[in-house]
Amino acid sequence: MNAPDRFDVFYLPPGSQKMKITPDTKVQNAATFEIFREDHTMGNVIRHKLLQEPQVIFAGYKIPHPLEHNVIIRVQTTNETKPEAMVAKALNDLITEVGYLRAKFMEDLGRARALVIPREQKSMIEQEPQIMQGIQQPTREPTNTSVGGAGGVGVDMDF
């Protein structure tokens, strides 16, 4: 009856704010960034990028409550800069890095795909999975396609 929608875990209604910035009232150059509808995936990755900056004195993240699907990132910087600027830089660097990795993956995919037998063809001749470039592959017995043991809940990860 009053149960929240299942997609409430990750879906932010259009028009609502994604982030709320609260400057620290007592500490200079410190602020908390509350990101709505995000989890450890983004919290950890942003914290990690922030800690790589020499101007960042402190960066940490937490998920204060398991039923509220928001992350809090706290940042304190030196006098040279502001927390907002460092978070902006961290996000920019992340975009560059992920974009670069994606391009790298696509590049290598071309090489890898050339060595693969298409799935339909493979099932017709019922042969062993392809071995690539002399890298040893574990033998695998044929598996029954069945989805086992999935419960009534989504994948909820805290690790």
Partner 1 sequence: MDLFGPANKPEIRIQELTGERIRFILTNTDLSMANALRRIMISEVATIAIDMVQFDLNTSVLADEFIAHRLGLIPLDSTEADKIKYPRDCNCSGACKECSVELNLHVKCTEEDTTKDVTSKDLVSHDPRFTPITEGPKDAGILIAKLRKGQEIKVKCIAKKGVAKEHAKWSPCAAVAFEYDPFNKLRHTHYWIEEDEKKEWPQSKNAQDDFPPLDDEIFDFTAKPNRFYFEIETIGSMKPEDIVMNAFKKLLEKISSIQMGLHSNDVPINGREPTRDVF
Residues 138-157 interacting with partner 1 (rule: CB under 8 A): 138, 145-147, 150-157
> Does residue 105 interact with partner 1 by CB under 8 A?
yes
Indicate the residue among 80 and 109 with the shorter CB distance to partner 1: 109
> Which 10-49 residues touch partner 1, going by CB under 8 A?
10-11, 16-21, 23, 25, 33, 35-36, 38, 40-42, 44-49
Indicate the residue among 9 and 80 with the shorter CB distance to partner 1: 9
> Which 38-97 residues touch partner 1, going by CB under 8 A?
38, 40-42, 44-49, 82, 84, 87-88, 91-97
- Token readout for 158 is 């805290």
Evaluated on CA atoms 62, 12, 49, 23, the torsion sign reads: negative
Indicate the residue among 1 and 113 with the shorter CB distance to partner 1: 113
3-state helix, strand, coil in the chain (%, to 5): 35, 15, 50
- Strand bridging mode 30-36 / 70-77: antiparallel
Angle at 85 between CA 81 and CA 89, to 5 degrees: 120
Q: Which residues of 65-92 are buried (b: 16+ CB within 10 A; e: fewer)?
A: eeeebbbbbbbbbeeeebbeebbebbee
CB of 1 to partner 1, least distance (A): 19
Tell me the residue length of the chain: 159
CB of 52 to partner 1, least distance (A): 8
> Does residue 130 interact with partner 1 by CB under 8 A?
yes
